[in-house]
Amino acid sequence: LMPLFPLYNQAIVESMAEQNHTTVTEFILIGFTDHPKLVVILFLVFLSFYLITLMGNMGMVLLIRLDSRLHTPMYFFLSHLSLLDACYSSVIVPQILVTLVTGRTSISYNSCATQFFFFTVCAATECFMLAVMAYDRYIAVSNPLLYSSAMTLGTRWCLVAGAYGGGVSGAIIRTACTFTLSFCGPNQINFFFCDLPPLLQLSCSDTTTSQILIIFFGNFVILANALVILVSYLFIIRATLNVKSVGGRAKTFSTCASHLTAVMLFFGTLIFMYLRSNSGKSLEEDKVVSVFYTVVIPMLNPIIYSLRNKEVNAAFRKIINRFQVSKEM
């Protein structure tokens, strides 16, 4: 029986150690603690970006709804992309602003899980939406005469519902895999918000299975949609090369340029953030990239889609003129 005593004592020690672990009820976000002198500047920058994001994206949604010339499949999908960008930024930036103003860096466990879920919903849905928009451009370029009959209102709503459904399903899986892990301390997240990599570092559970599921579904969402976009643009290029007139080719490429720019910015940052190897990762680089795709890109998308878009600019001028006329009356 003597050899069993060490094993018995070890089991008691492990049991006591587990009991001494306290379950984390809140997390501390310390992403800004390295820059205490820049708090005011950071607050003004984030606030400016957020206001521009809201005005740009919700303005785009309103403009598309008010102008009948923009009631086309392309702008239908663009309005949902703008709505996603507004929500996407709203999940992250207000909490950052509160942290900068109050200095309160703590976030409750439930609030962290909620933020993570909605952030993941918006990010995954935007991946699907950009793929839907690439497919829409492919149909418009390859079959322009059948475009209206192919992209009926019912078809558009089915594609949008599929994008939202895919985003919500992926978010449920990733959130469940992350927050069923045990968090026993420390509880300091060296980041601006509750993102996946720093959360996994804090877990005191074996994260192997969860990481496999999270990485699989995360990579599937990014790579599958990137593949749809790539194939769509290969067909678009082939169809464009068959256009004989140089003006026709230029017009086709110009209609796809805005979407392609948005795709490159969004997927480029996601791939850099989540798909590169851990050996080459830098925490400071991750912080900069996370700010770029959660704050800067949602602000840039309305500008990208309206900068050289004659229809959007014409609709905007029409609304301004209508407002001025009503004001004079």
**pLDDT at residue 12 in the model:** 37
- pLDDT tier, 1 (very low <50, low <70, confident <90, very high otherwise): very low
Residue 22: pLDDT over 90: no
**Digit-coded pLDDT (tens) for 119-152:** 999 999 999 999 999 999 999 888 888 888 889 9
**pLDDT at residue 327 in the model:** 61
The position carrying tokens 């949604």 is: 61
**pLDDT at residue 30 in the model:** 82
Strand 106-108, strand 188-189: pairing: unpaired
Percentage of residues in the chain having pLDDT higher than 70? 87
For residue 246, which amino acid is it?
V
Residue 10: pLDDT over 70: no
Query: What average pLDDT does range 253-276 have in this prediction?
Result: 83
Rg, C-alpha atoms of the chain: 24
Half-sphere exposure of 302 (CA within 13 A, CB side): 27
- pLDDT tier, 11 (very low <50, low <70, confident <90, very high otherwise): very low
Residue 140: φ, ψ to 5°:
-65, -35
- pLDDT tier, 2 (very low <50, low <70, confident <90, very high otherwise): very low
- pLDDT tier, 217 (very low <50, low <70, confident <90, very high otherwise): confident
Q: What residues does each domain of the chain span?
A: 24-315
Residue 280: pLDDT over 80: no
Query: d(Cα 27, Cα 29) in Å, to the nearest integer?
Result: 6
Instruction: Enumerate residues 6+ apart whose C-beta is below 8 A from 215.
Output: none
Query: d(Cα 283, Cα 290) in Å, to the nearest integer?
Result: 10
Say which DSSP state 23 is in: P
Q: Looking at per-residue confidence, does 163 or 21 come out higher? A: 163
**pLDDT at residue 171 in the model:** 92
Which tokens sit at 237? Answer: 């290029």
Determine the 3-state secondary structure of 292 from DSSP. helix
Percentage of residues in the chain having pLDDT higher than 90? 35
**pLDDT at residue 308 in the model:** 67
Q: Are 193 and 150 in contact (CB under 8 A)?
A: no
The class level of CATH for 24-315 reads mainly alpha
**Digit-coded pLDDT (tens) for 59-75:** 999 999 988 888 899 99
**pLDDT at residue 75 in the model:** 92
Name the burial class of residue 2, with classes exposed (0-12), middle (13-18) and buried (19+) by CB atoms within 10 angstroms of its CB: exposed
Query: d(Cα 186, Cα 27) in Å, to the nearest integer?
Result: 9
Instruction: Enumerate residues 6+ apart whose C-beta is below 8 A from 224.
Output: 131
**pLDDT at residue 14 in the model:** 41
**Digit-coded pLDDT (tens) for 81-111:** 999 999 989 999 999 898 888 888 888 989 9
Query: What average pLDDT does range 146-161 have in this prediction?
Result: 93
**pLDDT at residue 163 in the model:** 96
Query: d(Cα 213, Cα 205) in Å, to the nearest integer?
Result: 15
pLDDT averaged over the chain? 83
For residue 172, which amino acid is it?
I
Instruction: Enumerate residues 6+ apart whose C-beta is below 8 A from 63.
Output: 70, 312, 315, 316, 319
The H-assigned helical ranges of the chain are 4-20, 39-66, 73-102, 109-142, 147-150, 153-179, 196-202, 208-241, 246-270, 283-291, 297-307, 310-328
Residue 198: pLDDT over 60: yes
- Among 192-206, 211-225, 285-299, 315-329, the least confident range: 315-329
